[in-house]
Amino acid sequence: MLTYILRRILVFIPTLIAITLLGFVIMVSAPGDPVERMVVAAQSGGEISSQTANQTEQKKFWNKKLGLDLPIFYISLNTLAQCDTLYRIYDKNERESLSRLTTEFGNWPEISAYYASLDALNKEHVNVRVDSASVVGYSLDDAKSAINESYFESSALKASYNLVVINAKLENLTELYKPAYMSKLREKLDAVKQRFKEIEQTATPWKKYIPALNYYPQNQYHRWIFGDGNWLTGKGSEFTKGIIRGDFGTSYTTKMPISEVISIKIFWSFFFTMISVVLGYLVSIPLGIQSAVKKGSRFDRITTVLLFILYSVPSFWLATLLLMTFANPDVLHWFPASGIEPVRGFPEGAGFFEVWSGRAEYLVLPIISYTYSSFAFLSRTMRVSMLEIVNQDYIRTARAKGLSERTVIYKHALRNALLPIITVFANIFPVSIGGSVILEVIFTIPGMGSEVFNAIVNQNYPMIITVFTITGVLTLIGYLVSDILYAVVDPRISYK
Amino acid sequence: MSEDKHKSFSFRAYAWAQFKKNKPAYFSLWVLGILALIAIFAPIIANDQPLYASYKGHTLFPAFSFKNNYQLQMSDGSTEKVQLDIARWKQMELETVIWAPVPYAPNKSDFYNSDYKSPSGEQFFKDKSGKKVPMPGRFRHRLGTNKKGEDVLSGLIHASRISLTIGIISMGIATIIGLIMGALAGYFGDSKLVTTRGRFWVFIFGLVLAYYYGFMIRGDILADAIGTSGFSILLQLFVSILIFTAVAYLFNLIGKLIGKLPFLNVQTNIPVDSFISRLIEILISIPGMILIISIAAVAKPSIINLMLIIGLTRWTGIARFTRAEFLKIRNLEYIQAGQSLGFSEARIIFKHALPNGVAPAFVAIAFGVAAAILIESSLSFLGVGVPPDVVTWGSLLSSGRQAFQAWWLVIFPGFAIFITVTVYNLLGEGLRDALDPRLKT
């Protein structure tokens, strides 16, 4: 038995790793640049703009804070042409355009020199003096807008990888730098052009057909899991302690720590799941027994059909129908249409009883919607497992002994018939957490599901991945517990 | 005579007879057929363009036309241009006309009947002179309209195409993966796939390189394709898979040669079954709905992406059924006969064993289609992963949530989902009963 449990736990670990990996892959492939999001959020919030004045510094800071200055994973398969320190470039678009250029030409040193010269050109714009002394022959406003335009053009050039686009932009810049006061820029541009020519001349495109394998002990995945300090003790961490210590990062929208948000929201998700599972069991076990014992009777046939129909009714349809019927001023206004408690809240110092009786009318419809799907499924499972048991020899023996039908069913049959139902618990529990997204949205319950929905609307990816990881781990634990429970409870199975 | 005898013992005929006895399942097959017909002929059943019209002496078939406009030569020598999708057919002077049974398109507003017109309530019609008159019976919105005045019945009919294609194509992907995985795991088990050490490692190395040449080098091309359209994704993916297969095959051949060298020619088992079973275990442990929502939130909203996501995550049931069946089949005599005749493993698995081992997978497929349709409608109800301009049962139902007085927006789409899901579930139950060998007497 112990070896079985140990073996089961050993299988648990790779699955856990697989779930975190999957979550990580989804997070990494999310569109958009998280640094960009954070800089925008910070500007409106005014958090670090006081510390570091210019935006580049901000970008660098968030890049470091989010750990994006690290390679993605422990090992990376790349082309020989590709530079293995490309991840240090903090702008996502520029990083990508450089990566594409390298793939095309295969000579990283030259491309790096080109990028450096471009960067120098871009920075030079700050040093250009635009005043009446330096600008001759042009109006001051024109000069200013010209400088602005060329600044944006050179920034755009940094993120371009299409040769046609690059050449067009170089042409355009040459045109823009004609005035005398831009002579310094012109020199820099000549250097850029020179570098670009060198790239084309020394191109080694064959390099992209040769793979190269790199290993990075410090990387984004490692940091996400273990934090940026010591991986075992978590000491010395600067920005994140890692999900292993419950640090899931920062929400893009509220900039609160995600673990804090989750710990607030998880209560209602758990509440409804637990209530629905308990109610589901309370209803479905007697129902399943009755219809199995009276197999073929009218009661059995009606419940079977009814349960089948219930089983196929989409939960979101039922929930909407319930709201439409019982929370609709035009039909029956028995229950409020949304939320889990009165909007105005409860008076200061309201007692436990007062709070929950105030909430009761809000909870009725959600609980019905949560419960019915698990109960349809449970009753069907219960009926099938009871039917299998009832036909077995030992039940016939018990009947032959002259035991009352009641004793036979509830004492001899029920125990064994309950076994599959126990294991089903593991399936229902995570499903009701995950599947409740839609119900929480319909009833506006402030739980994890509606949090995920809001996160999707606001593209708050860390939140989505956190909920994914947490439900994944909960599911795994559910399976683990139910497997072990099964092994413990069922005397017929031996795990030697 | 022998032909007859063979027929009378055919499992297929037996299963079909069993299936036919199951009245609800047999009935659901009929319902499914009708649903499929509705989906196939949706543009003819519900269309705001007439099926046939004669206009100023011209005979037109607007609903069947591939072009979007007609250049009509008038008797006075002038030409009149008729743009099919924006022409106001109901106000045109048509001599004779045959309308589609539902004379409305799913995405077009009927301004006289906007703001939730009930099926039974008052509806209005713009007659040929442009006056607002009570709705003639032929043009009633039989299942009402939504806020924008779009016909609900037409939306339902057209949305059946989306639900059915998503269900079928995503399960098609899942079936291919599931059958192959299940067949390999069940046929080879942990000990039957024996190869040489050299060949094994060369092949593993080859797989890495195949991935490199198929997908890594082409990464930029694939990324660009994903940004453009559904078709080019499939095309580029196909090219990548082709390169992948070619490189893998090449290394397989090299491995065969290298496997003949000393030390590298030691025989080893490949634990195919353990590997695939672990993979299935991992996939099952991942909360499906949350996984699909997460991926759908990150990927671009498109129907094809949705099919891929559902297909790639929902093959485990099929694989498990097939695996169990292959565990039985691999010990049967005809397989041994094939082996002793020297047939290749691939030929035995896919040509001999698979046709006989595929039956149980049908059960999983039927339930899978029901689940896929449910997932699609849940996602479009939430508005995640499905483009906002596509009318689906889920999105119609969701639009009813904003106005509960419009009960027809909640009842009818929900009922459509319910019927389709039930039909597939019944089909699955029927198949299970018909194919379950334990019921054989």
**pLDDT, tens digit, 9 for 90 and up, residues A375-434:** 888 888 888 888 888 888 888 888 898 888 888 888 888 877 777 777 677 666 666 565
Nearest neighbour of B287 by CB, restricted to A311, A464, A475: A475
- Helix, strand, coil content of chain A in percent (nearest 5): 70, 5, 30
Mutate: best of B277, B283, B290, B412, partner A, most A CBs <10 A: B290
CB pair distance less than 8 Å for B281 and A308: no
Is residue B144 within 8 Å of residue B152, measured between CB atoms?
yes
Same-domain pairing of B114 and B220: no
B37: CB partners within 8 A, 6+ apart: none
Is residue A146 within 8 Å of residue A179, measured between CB atoms?
yes
- Whether the pLDDT of residue B437 is over 80: the answer is no
pLDDT at B246: 95
Please give the tally of structural domains in chain B.
Answer: 4
Cβ contacts below 8 Å, chain A against chain B, sum to 136
Q: Does B207 touch chain A (CB under 8 A)?
A: no
B377: CB partners within 8 A, 6+ apart: A314, A316, B163, B392, B393, B394, B397, B417
Average confidence (pLDDT) over B265-281? 86
Q: Where does the pLDDT of residue A40 fall: very low under 50, low under 70, confident under 90, or very high at 90 and above?
A: low
CATH number of the structural domain spanning residue B169 = 1.10.3720.10
pLDDT > 90 fraction of chain A, expressed in percent and rounded:
1
Rounded to 5°, the CA angle A218-B279-B380 comes to 90
Residue A9, SS3 per DSSP: helix
Same-domain pairing of B311 and B433: yes
The last residue of a domain, from among B35, B65, B99: B99
Q: Where does the pLDDT of residue B1 fall: very low under 50, low under 70, confident under 90, or very high at 90 and above?
A: very low
CB pair distance less than 8 Å for B425 and A308: yes
Same-domain pairing of B385 and B236: no
Nearest neighbour of A11 by CB, restricted to B281, B290, B298: B281
Find the closest chain B residue to A10 by CA distance.
B278
CB pair distance less than 8 Å for A209 and B217: yes
Q: Where does the pLDDT of residue B440 fall: very low under 50, low under 70, confident under 90, or very high at 90 and above?
A: very low
Strand-pairing partners, residue B269, are: B194
Q: From CA B16, how far away is CA B359, in angstroms rounded?
A: 12
Mutate: best of B294, B381, B427, partner A, most A CBs <10 A: B294
CB pair distance less than 8 Å for A26 and B295: yes
Strand-pairing partners, residue A218, are: none
Contacts of A163 in chain B (CB under 8 A): none
Average confidence (pLDDT) over B216-230? 77
CB pair distance less than 8 Å for A464 and B384: no
- Which of A10, A14, A12, A18 lies closest to A468, judged by CA? A18
Find the closest chain B residue to A431 by CA distance.
B287
Structure tokens at A282: 């309370």
Strand-pairing partners, residue B53, are: B60, B97
Mutate: best of A213, A312, A433, A463, partner B, most B CBs <10 A: A312
- Whether the pLDDT of residue A493 is over 70: the answer is no
Same-domain pairing of B61 and B202: no
pLDDT > 90 fraction of chain B, expressed in percent and rounded:
23
Q: Where does the pLDDT of residue B251 fall: very low under 50, low under 70, confident under 90, or very high at 90 and above?
A: very high
pLDDT at A308: 83
Q: Does B384 touch chain A (CB under 8 A)?
A: yes
Structure tokens at B137: 């019976």
Q: From CA A84, how far away is CA A140, in angstroms rounded?
A: 45
Structure tokens at A156: 């755009």
Nearest neighbour of A324 by CB, restricted to B287, B377, B410: B410
Average confidence (pLDDT) over B385-397? 87
Nearest neighbour of B414 by CB, restricted to A18, A19, A314: A314
Is residue B372 within 8 Å of residue A314, measured between CB atoms?
no
- Whether the pLDDT of residue A461 is over 90: the answer is no
Q: What is the dihedral of CA B301, B302, B308, B310, to 10 degrees?
A: 60
CB pair distance less than 8 Å for B410 and A103: no
The 3-class SS string of A357-382 reads HHHHHHHHHHHHHHHHHHHHHHHHHH
Residue ranges covered by each domain of chain A:
75-215, 217-249, 258-489
Same-domain pairing of B366 and B244: no
Tokens 């720590």 correspond to A257
Among B245-259, B276-290, B299-313, which is the least confidently predicted range? Answer: B276-290
Same-domain pairing of B217 and B279: no
CB pair distance less than 8 Å for B293 and A308: no
In-domain check, residue B291: yes
Structure tokens at A183: 């002579």
- Whether the pLDDT of residue A350 is over 80: the answer is no
Count the Cβ atoms, other than its own, within 10 Å of residue A345: 10
Compute and round to an integer the Cα radius of gyration of chain A: 32
CB pair distance less than 8 Å for A464 and B293: yes
Same-domain pairing of B188 and B199: no
Alpha-carbon gap: B214 to the closest alpha carbon of chain A (Å): 11
- Whether the pLDDT of residue B143 is over 80: the answer is yes
Residue A428, SS3 per DSSP: helix
Alpha-carbon gap: A81 to the closest alpha carbon of chain B (Å): 11
- Whether the pLDDT of residue B358 is over 50: the answer is yes
Count the Cβ atoms, other than its own, within 10 Å of residue B334: 12
Residue B170, SS3 per DSSP: helix
pLDDT at A356: 82
Hey, what amino acid is at A382? M
CB pair distance less than 8 Å for A437 and B290: yes
Q: Does B278 touch chain A (CB under 8 A)?
A: yes
The overall average pLDDT reported for chain B is: 85
Average confidence (pLDDT) over B358-383? 89
| pLDDT per residue as tens digits for the range A260-311 | 888 888 888 888 888 888 888 888 888 888 888 888 888 888 888 888 888 8
Average confidence (pLDDT) over B383-387? 84
| pLDDT per residue as tens digits for the range A68-113 | 888 888 888 888 877 777 777 777 788 888 888 888 888 888 888 8
Q: A174 or A35, which is more confident?
A: A174
In-domain check, residue B1: no
pLDDT at A427: 66
What are the strands, taking DSSP E only, across B102-199? 124-126, 132-134, 194-196
Contacts of B382 in chain A (CB under 8 A): 437-438, 441, 453, 456
Q: Does B226 touch chain A (CB under 8 A)?
A: no
- Which of B186, B164, B167 lies closest to B175, judged by CA? B167
Contacts of A423 in chain B (CB under 8 A): none
Distances (CA, A) of A176 to A120, A127, A160: 17, 17, 18
Contacts of B409 in chain A (CB under 8 A): none
pLDDT at A43: 57
Nearest neighbour of B418 by CB, restricted to A317, A324, A455: A317
Mutate: best of A324, A326, A459, partner B, most B CBs <10 A: A324
Is residue B298 within 8 Å of residue A29, measured between CB atoms?
yes
Please give the residue range of the domain that contains residue B357: 11-47+153-193+270-441
Alpha-carbon gap: A170 to the closest alpha carbon of chain B (Å): 24
- Which of B234, B247, B220 lies closest to B302, judged by CA? B234
In this prediction the pTM is: 0.81
Q: Does B37 touch chain A (CB under 8 A)?
A: no
Alpha-carbon gap: B288 to the closest alpha carbon of chain A (Å): 8
The last residue of a domain, from among B247, B269, B291: B269
Nearest neighbour of A434 by CB, restricted to B216, B290, B418: B290
CB pair distance less than 8 Å for A434 and B288: yes
Same-domain pairing of B372 and B321: yes
pLDDT at B164: 92
Q: Does B400 touch chain A (CB under 8 A)?
A: yes
Q: From CA B49, how far away is CA A202, in angstroms rounded?
A: 62
The overall average pLDDT reported for chain A is: 81
Average confidence (pLDDT) over B199-203? 89
CB pair distance less than 8 Å for A26 and B414: no
Q: B225 or B394, which is more confident?
A: B394
Q: From CA B380, how far away is CA B393, in angstroms rounded?
A: 8
pLDDT at A46: 47
A71-104 residues labelled b (16+ CB within 10 A) or e (exposed): bebeebebbebbbeebbebbbbbbbbbbbbbbbb
Q: From CA B338, how far away is CA B315, in angstroms rounded?
A: 29
DSSP codes of every residue in A17-60 = HHHHHHHHHHHHT-SS-HHHHHHHHHHHHTSSTTT--SHHHHHH
pLDDT at B289: 77
Mutate: best of A301, A456, A463, partner B, most B CBs <10 A: A456
B74: CB partners within 8 A, 6+ apart: B56, B80
pLDDT at A242: 84
In-domain check, residue B3: no
Same-domain pairing of B20 and B73: no
Contacts of A452 in chain B (CB under 8 A): 290, 293
Distances (CA, A) of A439 to A433, A443, B193: 10, 6, 48
pLDDT > 70 fraction of chain A, expressed in percent and rounded:
93
pLDDT at B210: 92
- Which of A280, A366, A272, A358 lies closest to A322, judged by CA? A366
Distance from first CA to last CA of chain B, Å, rounded?
25
pLDDT at B14: 80
Specify burial of residue A236 (Cβ count, 10 A radius: 0-12, 13-18, 19+).
exposed
Among A25-34, A298-307, B158-167, which is the least confidently predicted range? Answer: A25-34
Q: What class, spelled out in words, does domain A258-489 have in CATH?
A: mainly alpha
Contacts of A78 in chain B (CB under 8 A): 216
